[in-house]
Structure 1
Amino acid sequence: MPGKAIRVRGVVQGVGFRPMVWRLARQYDLTGSVWNDSEGVLIHVYGSRQNLADFIDRIPLQLPPLASLTALEVTELASPPPDKFRIVASHSESQARTPIAADAATCPACLADIADPNNRRYRYPFANCTHCGPRLSIVRRVPYDRCHTSMAAFAMCPACQREYDDPADRRFHAQANCCPACGPSLWLEDKQGRLADIANPIEHATELLRRGYIVAIKGLGGFHLACIAADGAAVDRLRQRKRRYAKPFALMAKDLAAIRRHAAINDLEQQALLDKAAPIVLLQAQGEALAAGIAPGDDKLGFMLPYTPLHSLLLAELEAPIVLTSGNLSDEPQCIANDTARKQLADIADYWLLHDREIVNRLDDSVVREMDGEIRLLRRARGYSPQALSLPAGFAAADGILAMGAELKNSFCLLQNGSALVSQHVGDLESAAAQRDYRNAIGLYRQLCDFHPRRIALDRHPGYLSSQYGLELAAGLSADINEIQHHHAHLAACLAEHGIALQTEPVLAAIFDGLGMGDDGTLWGGEFLLGDYRGYSRLAHFQPIALPGGTQAMREPWRNTYAQLRHYFDWPALQRDYPDLAVVQCLSGKPLATLDTMINKNLNAPLSGSCGRWFDAFGAALGLHTEAIDYEGQAAIALETLAATRFTAQAAYPEAWSLSNQNGVTVLGWQALWRAVLNDLQQGIENAVIAARIHHSLIEATVELLMQLSRQTGTDCIVLGGGVFQNRLLLEGVSRTLRAEGKSVLAPQRYPPNDGGLALGQAAIAAAKSLDS
């Protein structure tokens, strides 16, 4: 009887893959065995040639929900066949290099269990199986066995053990398997401690929410703070206590119908909401209004559906959506431990809904937005990490590279055996707590992957804390160092996720973001590059203009407005020409002599061609967060939101930009655009119309310059990257026009266009350098 050895690689352990193979083998009357090992899963199978062929064909089509394949290789077996098909126990050390699945939303079968009064898991908030539930959030080390997770504290009862041992059961080898008799428990606390007389803590928590209280809820990857989203007083109170004064709050609703009462949902957005990753999906606000404090000045609402049994049971009792924002003080990491939450959230929460399953690894909620016909990740965390990306052709031998990421929206990347594993969103590294979290996460990933970096890739900016830690690690490990230019990394990240081979010809790229250290010592951010993984050349860029006050200019948009106007015009003349404009009057009251001195003497006023600061400047000119922003990108988001209301009926200002040549590089200037905007403001043109014209002008200038560079270089493939391309109007306007001109356009999709995707590009560039050395 013929036999086949089938090697399977990918996310195939701890996800119900072996039981699927066992059932499939029985279906095709095959004998043999299946087991886990250090490379994934190995199958030895015997039967008729036709049944073997059908069995092999069905494997990729029968995958369990959380499984994914990167390779399926078949060779001949000459050994005699056994009498039946068995699942063989694996050696514990054999799984050390295999991927861990991402945490996944509750599957329909588990939802049915908790809704069935006759099921022993009825209303149990921790039901899970091999198709859903916690993974990365509970793992301490590999192999991914119960003893190496926070579920080790809970011994399975006989009923759960029988499920765990039965290959025909969907809970076979579900490491987090549990029930009310043996698993984690839930309780409610107030500021004085546990409320022992509460028989149903979930029901009581919903009543507290209805009464306007703020409840801290321990979730899957961290704590959240919840209140009723239609309760304006509760939302405002949460903002004041959390010291998060403007950044939009995330929302959770019990089902699609509940979301549709407040937001529009297209087919792609619906798929994203229902996906096993259960991300926050940014939707167009529409219909019944929620509290004004949910998303001040924004026309979008960030909704997600319940993704744990706890959330499902909580929302089932509520008709209205709830705010479900991260349980932390603003700019601090999300709390994950009960004691920490009690202390840090004491001045925010009124009650705590707690459980005793430890969260080992912090996971923020992921955020996506539909743009240009695709769902695009803006924050990659729960539900997506730690999924690995197999790098394209030419990278198979790349190994041992650790990429440190950026300063803001940090994630890091391990490149091992030709695959890139980008961490979950770590966040901004500005606080000591965030830095500790970052270092701990790198240590965990190194242990999970048995990873020993030989080369460390870091951003060229010497002030980045990620770069400083990278240098520290490299010294301790005697590892090589690659300093990677920021915008080159954005370009390479997009190439890698789209599967562009190492040997491909260079592509054009427009990389627009806040800033990144350039080759010339200035801060870049409005870049037109020609490049590949190995290198790049800077073909064009925005006009560099001073940032008076450095980082202060990022927090106070009026500084950028003044710097732009001062650069392009004579300021006293502008004051004479436009004396009644609000922006001129505002700026005239500022300490401009001090800013002039800073700029003239180059004192804390670095030059920057940043497109992000360009947006800030125009937003401030239109009165949008002129004085200060409460979070990164607030003025730019406000400008996009305003422009969207009049966008389709408007066009670019004529001849609003200029192209000049400086030392062989094209410089994109904006003097005419500023004059047009000031004239429209003086004529009393509606701000929304002006904002739309500004967007159209940027789109047309970008397309015109890219088309010119395409003709010069003979390159028809164009990358659009950097955080500014989270602007939907900009991304769609540039992409669609370029495609209409016959160009191929690549933009980030599975990894964020902002600095959250930077580490992937750093790793790919370092890999190319290592393969060339």
Structure 2
Amino acid sequence: MIKHFHITVTGVVQGVGFRPFVYRVAKNLGLKGSVSNTATGVKIHIEGPKERIDKFLESLEQKPPPLAKVENIIAKELELAGFETFEIISSDDKNEKVTSVSPDVTLCEACLNEMRDPSNRRYRYPFINCTDCGPRYTITKTVPYDRPNTSMAKFEMCPDCKKEYEDPMNRRYHAQPISCWNCGPKLSLLNNSGNILECDDPIKESAKRLKNGEIVAVKGLGGFHLMCNACDENSVQLLRERKRRPSKPLAIMVKGVKEAKILADFSEIEKEWLTSKERPIVLLKKREGSNLAPSVAPNIDRIGVMLPYTPLHELLFDYIDFPLVATSANLSDEPIIRDSKELIEKLGSVVDAVLDHDRDIVNACDDSVMQVAGSQPLWLRVARGIAPLTFSLKKPIERKIVAVGANQKSTIALGFSDRIVLSPHIGDLNTIEAMDYFERTINTFKNFYDFTPDTIVHDKHPGYETTKWAKEQNSKSKDLGILEVQHHYAHALGVMAEYGLYDEQVVAFCWDGTGYGDDGTIWGGEVMLADAKGFERIATISPFKLIGADRAVKEPRRVALSLLFEIFTLEEILALSLPTVKAFSSSEIKMLYKAWERGINSPKTSSMGRLFDAISSLCGICQRSGFEGESGMLIEAAATVPDAKPYSFNIEDGEIKWQNMVCEIVKNPDQETVASRFLATLIEIVFVIASKYPDKPLLFAGGVFQNRTLIEKILARCKKDGRKFYFPSKVSPNDGAVALGQVWYGINQYII
């Protein structure tokens, strides 16, 4: 029986070699018809014997190309059309745009081998790529993902490249960034004034400068890296001084796994992520005795390591035999820089040279950052190689929803048709440049999908730039619906969205640094009974005051002093031989006591993140924080006591009382003991509360759950007790998933 089916395939199916894959399968099975990209995915007409069409469908579902992510296959039988052959036809972009935009992908093995082959016409070509690798999101202006819609449009293909591009049996068939030495982008080396430096090989000259201790900005897929010799303490210190980044850890790039092993210890799972096609920065255990410069990651037992992910990076390592610092090129609180002109303007005083090229970066995109907790991937930043992320809905929605996220680690999310799309990491929105990047990202995704929102979802915090932006848009158009979601509830919702929880109620532990509470105070140590429609706050950290408000966030000693003020008299505190007390003069303590007592610039908080700060100060681990989350990292590094016993605590009227714990710490402020027992206490708090809801799954969200030791032990206990749990494995537990939670809330307001 000859049949004719119209097949629609949705998901990440463009720019991943899906059409030539379909072509080859159809040809091998002797089927006739056509395949084309559309704004909704891929459209196939297939005609032939029914049993062969069944095999064809089986291949689509079970054996797609390596970069493809098939979400849905819909086949509809039509009348016979009498196709005479099978062909690939041009894209149809008239329909609503819902196809997923593919993330950028690291250089594949086949292209790497060609680049190393002296007989290949792309030998040592720094922009080699094929349908299985190379830039995607960062060069795309809109969908369908065709060359005219990318920044490669200005490079006219030479006859050899065009022949490959038009051959369905070739690995580079419709590889949109296809190019070669004759027709592709060109490298150039600039000085820090923006003038071209004449040299035979810009890569070789850059390597020479790195060897000589210079700082070189290198253009990657989504922006520039600032690079220097990671084993040269003078170079690393110079970079820190010039960039004004005193202590925050710096990521490093190494040539390969062999070189990574010299600097770090890692498991097989960590190795798999290190070498994966996504190539994130992976946080690994520092190896003692390596020659890595101490100031790469001072006082922390972990380093962020990544392998080369572009041909340019691979070629650079041909000339050097040392690891490179590879940190994002940006000013503090500003987004990663994507063109050399802006880099020279802002960082000309930081760099000595710039390795540039003329393939424009349309969409900036930072490196992804992750670590492994047991076997669980724990994402700190979801960006290059991972995002944009797409999540399918159980049924289409009629609304078009945009969620604008939080103020830190900002992302945006769109909800429309049968999907959610989460943007890559945008960053902290503390500057005009960052807000420009935020708006540019919104416009990027509106262009991708011809998307005009009818609903905006935002955080409740009235001071967030995203809240202000949402309300401004609402004031411009009264037809634009607006919803607000409490910050910590949005954290829980983000995990619910990842797992598709529409109805299930969970016990959600939402622990982070800050968030605007429903009572107008600063929340951050919340436990909620929650589902997709609403929540009940069932427990929280007993509130304490932040002396100096925002200043306390940067000075853990102030938070610790506030806890001491709650428990002891001023005279008793002044008599204590405690690291926190020693961090102040007696006159400072007396002055701060008056501010605390009168509530002057001392707002209340229930923040678990600030409790981490306080504990780190009490035992002398950290008195002033050089970057967000430093106290948590240092506590994790110090928690070396096996089977540490929890401190005393009690829960009264929904408040988790920390006072007894602080009294015990004051008696013995040994750093390793305090760090280990504090984490043990948090784990015990989780399971004491969980025991009251034995039939409810547990959910964990918020930046505190980036603590590897904490989450390893909690998840191990869940598995041991047979307790069902939800922990984010595709998105970050931090504020990067707040937009996902917000859009999930919006969607569930309109799903019956």
Are 1:695 and 2:679 an aligned pair? yes
Check 1:737–1:649 CA distance in 2 against 1; reply closer, same or farther (3 A cut).
Answer: closer
Match of 2:747 in 1: 767
What is the alpha-carbon distance in structure 2 between the residues aligned to residue 562 and residue 398 of structure 1? 53
What is the alpha-carbon distance in structure 2 between the residues aligned to residue 542 and residue 326 of structure 1? 36
**AA matched with 2:569:** D
Check 1:320–1:54 CA distance in 2 against 1; reply closer, same or farther (3 A cut).
Answer: same
What is the alpha-carbon distance in structure 2 between the residues aligned to residue 760 and residue 114 of structure 1? 40
**AA matched with 2:156:** A
Match of 1:274 in 2: 275
1:294 aligned to which of 285, 293, 296: 296
**AA matched with 2:719:** R
Match of 1:420 in 2: 420
CA contact 2:461–2:515 (8 Å) conserved in 1: yes
- 1:193 Cα deviation after fit: 4.9
CA contact 2:698–2:725 (8 Å) conserved in 1: yes
Match of 1:517 in 2: 516
Check 1:770–1:477 CA distance in 2 against 1; reply closer, same or farther (3 A cut).
Answer: farther
Are 1:327 and 2:329 an aligned pair? yes
Alignment of 1:30-109 (within 5 A): 30-93=31-94, 96-109=97-110
What is the alpha-carbon distance in structure 2 between the residues aligned to residue 4 and residue 93 of structure 1? 21
Are 1:678 and 2:672 an aligned pair? no
Aligned residue for 2:514, secondary structure, equals strand
CA contact 1:36–1:95 (8 Å) conserved in 2: no
CA contact 1:218–1:224 (8 Å) conserved in 2: yes
What is the alpha-carbon distance in structure 2 between the residues aligned to residue 147 and residue 81 of structure 1? 32
Match of 1:651 in 2: 645
Aligned residue for 1:675, secondary structure, equals helix
CA contact 2:39–2:92 (8 Å) conserved in 1: no
- 1:649 Cα deviation after fit: 4.5
CA contact 1:221–1:382 (8 Å) conserved in 2: yes
Alignment of 1:107-146 (within 5 A): 107-146=108-147
CA contact 1:533–1:764 (8 Å) conserved in 2: yes
Are 1:723 and 2:703 an aligned pair? yes
What is the alpha-carbon distance in structure 2 between the residues aligned to residue 96 and residue 492 of structure 1? 26
Are 1:739 and 2:738 an aligned pair? no
**AA matched with 1:687:** Q
What is the alpha-carbon distance in structure 1 between the residues aligned to residue 539 and residue 579 of structure 2? 33
What is the alpha-carbon distance in structure 2 between the residues aligned to residue 61 and residue 204 of structure 1? 47
Match of 2:443 in 1: 443
CA contact 1:398–1:418 (8 Å) conserved in 2: no
- 1:92 Cα deviation after fit: 4.5
Comparing 38-47 with 536-545, which one deviates more in the overlay? 38-47
Residue deviations 1:379-430 (CA, integer Å, cap 9, x gap): 0111112131113x4x532631111100111111111113111111110000
What is the alpha-carbon distance in structure 2 between the residues aligned to residue 297 and residue 249 of structure 1? 13
What is the alpha-carbon distance in structure 2 between the residues aligned to residue 95 and residue 150 of structure 1? 23
**AA matched with 1:449:** Y
TM-score by length of 1: 0.94
**AA matched with 1:669:** K
Aligned residue for 1:342, secondary structure, equals helix
**AA matched with 1:542:** I
CA contact 1:337–1:359 (8 Å) conserved in 2: yes
- 1:8 Cα deviation after fit: 0.7
Calculate the aligned-residue CA RMSD, in Å.
Answer: 1.7
Residue deviations 1:470-506 (CA, integer Å, cap 9, x gap): 1112222331111100111111111110222x123x1
Residue deviations 1:618-676 (CA, integer Å, cap 9, x gap): 111122231x2111111121111111xx23252223xx111111xxxx11111111111
**AA matched with 2:582:** Q
Q: In the comparison of the two structures, how many residue pairs are matched?
A: 749
What is the alpha-carbon distance in structure 1 between the residues aligned to residue 529 and residue 651 of structure 2? 18
Match of 2:614 in 1: 617
What is the alpha-carbon distance in structure 2 between the residues aligned to residue 254 and residue 272 of structure 1? 15
Comparing 273-282 with 534-543, which one deviates more in the overlay? 273-282
What is the alpha-carbon distance in structure 1 between the residues aligned to residue 168 and residue 95 of structure 2? 20
**AA matched with 1:612:** G
Query: Runs of 5+ in structure 1 lacking a partner?
Result: none
What is the alpha-carbon distance in structure 1 between the residues aligned to residue 32 and residue 729 of structure 2? 43
Provide the identity percentage.
Answer: 37
Check 1:319–1:390 CA distance in 2 against 1; reply closer, same or farther (3 A cut).
Answer: same
What is the alpha-carbon distance in structure 2 between the residues aligned to residue 477 and residue 446 of structure 1? 17
Are 1:452 and 2:452 an aligned pair? yes
Are 1:463 and 2:460 an aligned pair? no
Match of 1:536 in 2: 535
What is the alpha-carbon distance in structure 2 between the residues aligned to residue 71 and residue 490 of structure 1? 28
Residue deviations 1:209-237 (CA, integer Å, cap 9, x gap): 11111111111100111111111111111
Are 1:660 and 2:652 an aligned pair? yes
**AA matched with 1:732:** E
Check 1:194–1:770 CA distance in 2 against 1; reply closer, same or farther (3 A cut).
Answer: same
Comparing 480-489 with 184-193, which one deviates more in the overlay? 184-193
Alignment of 1:237-252 (within 5 A): 237-252=238-253
1:635 aligned to which of 610, 619, 631: 631
Check 1:566–1:418 CA distance in 2 against 1; reply closer, same or farther (3 A cut).
Answer: farther
CA contact 1:36–1:94 (8 Å) conserved in 2: no
Match of 2:586 in 1: 589
- 1:2 Cα deviation after fit: 2.2
Aligned residue for 2:135, secondary structure, equals coil
Aligned residue for 1:481, secondary structure, equals strand
**AA matched with 2:127:** F
What is the alpha-carbon distance in structure 2 between the residues aligned to residue 94 and residue 156 of structure 1? 29
- 1:151 Cα deviation after fit: 1.1
What is the alpha-carbon distance in structure 1 between the residues aligned to residue 588 and residue 342 of structure 2? 43
